[in-house]
Amino acid sequence: MASSATGRRARASGMSRQETRWAWLFLAPWVIGFLVFTGGPMIASLVLSFTEYDVISAPKFTGLDNYRQLMSDPAVAKSLGNTVFYTALHVPLAMAVSLGLALLLQRVGRASGLFRTIFYLPVMTPAVAVGILFLFLLNGQTGLINAMLALVGVQGPNWTTDPAWIKPGIVLMSLWTLGSTTIIYLAALNNVPRELYEAARIDGASSWRQFRHITVPMISGALFFTLIVNTIASLQLFAEVYTMYFGNRATQESTTDAALFYVVYLFQQAFQFLHMGFASAMAWLLFLIILAITVLQVRVGNRFVYYEGD
């Protein structure tokens, strides 16, 4: 008896070890990829952030100089301010519009597959193409957006040249690619049990109360996830803005501080001015800011988010 139990335990333990080995084997490409392409460069950039390094010559240790410069460089504060402003405007707006679209898609019925595809298609457009497209659409004198505003008697601003309107213009552009968030919300909405709505209707709850007290709590997990992901993506916005305002010599020469986003300035420091050490320090500051915001969001979010199985 005892020997058969020991044998079963030994077999189970052997299988477990085998499964573990297989698990590591399947995980290996991602683990190796992370170590080589993310973890390694992160450590390298941390080391470089304490040096003066122009890519060509060997790095020179400068202690905390780059971090001190971060505090004194007005362009760092300006670019960070622009990025935070954009994030504060873009994230809630993107979430609200995506949720609205998902609610509409849920009601479309049979044709929802077609509309899902249509709403998702812009996500497939390369960021560079989106940037160029919106440079034309947002043109204050000849752009389509101001032409449409003119139809309702509104004289649109110079979206691409007036510093006060550049960031709102970029936010407008960012709403082009809401497909992913919309699809996530649609999936979450479809998972809300119908009987909850039926019970609420029997109790005489209005549509708004059903939305407020059933829909929002039940999809709060999806809302929370997109809040975090969109915040991180917004703080790292680069390709579209770079294409619009820094993509070629002509745009670069006549752009304003209003379009200087944090990662754009980081890129300029690294590859235009060859201050790779300073750019590394900028990258680490951004990493810490994102980490702090995400931790805060998780702490606050956990109080309001409903997870299945809670």
Partner 1 sequence: MQVKVTEGGFDEQQFLSAVASGAPPDLVYVDREIIGTYAARGAIQPLDECISSAQIDMGQYRPAAVQQVTVDGKVYGIPEFYSVRVMMIGNKAVRDAGLSPAEVDTTDWSKLAGMAEKLTVTEGGKLKRIGFDPKIPEFLPLWVKANGGALLSEDGRTAQLNAPKVVEALTTTAGIVQASGGWGKLKSLRDSFDFFGAKNQFAKDQLGAFPMEDWYLNVLAEASPDVDITVAPFKDRQGNPLTFVTGSAWAVPKGAKNPDAACRFAKTMTEASTWVAAARARAEARAKKDLPFTGLYSGNKVADEQVFGEVYKPSGDAKFDDAVQTVLAVQEVAFATPPSPAGAEFQKAWQDAVNRVLTGQMEPAEALERAQGEAQAALDKAAGG
- Contact residues toward partner 1 (CB under 8 A) are 54-57, 135-136, 139-143, 155, 158, 160-163, 250, 253-258, 268, 271-274
Residue with tokens 């070890």: 17
User: What Cα–Cα distance (Å) separates residue 238 from each residue in 52, 83, 128, 204, 260?
Assistant: 24, 10, 10, 49, 10
Which CB, 78 or 297, lies closer to partner 1? 78
Cα end-to-end distance, the chain, whole Å: 42
Question: Angle of helix 74-108 relative to helix 65-72, nearest 10 degrees?
Answer: 70
For residue 243, the minimal CB distance to partner 1 (Å) is 13
- Residue 281 CB, nearest approach to partner 1 (Å): 15
- CB nearer to partner 1: give 116 or 275: 275
Closer to partner 1 at the Cβ: 166 or 223? Answer: 166
Q: How far apart are CA 24 and CA 37, in angstroms?
A: 18
Using CA atoms, how far residue 264 sits from 24, 270, 283, in Å, is 38, 10, 11
**Is the Cβ of residue 113 or residue 163 nearer to partner 1 in the bound state?**
163
Provide the minimum distance between the beta carbon of 271 and partner 1 in the complex, in angstroms, as a whole number.
Answer: 5
Residue 159 vs 185, nearer CB to partner 1? 159
Min dist. Cβ of residue 45 to partner 1 (A):
15
Q: Is 282 exposed, middle or buried (0-12, 13-18, 19+ CB in 10 A)?
A: buried
- Cα distance between residue 227 and residue 297, in whole Å: 8
Shortest reach from residue 255's CB to partner 1, in Å: 7
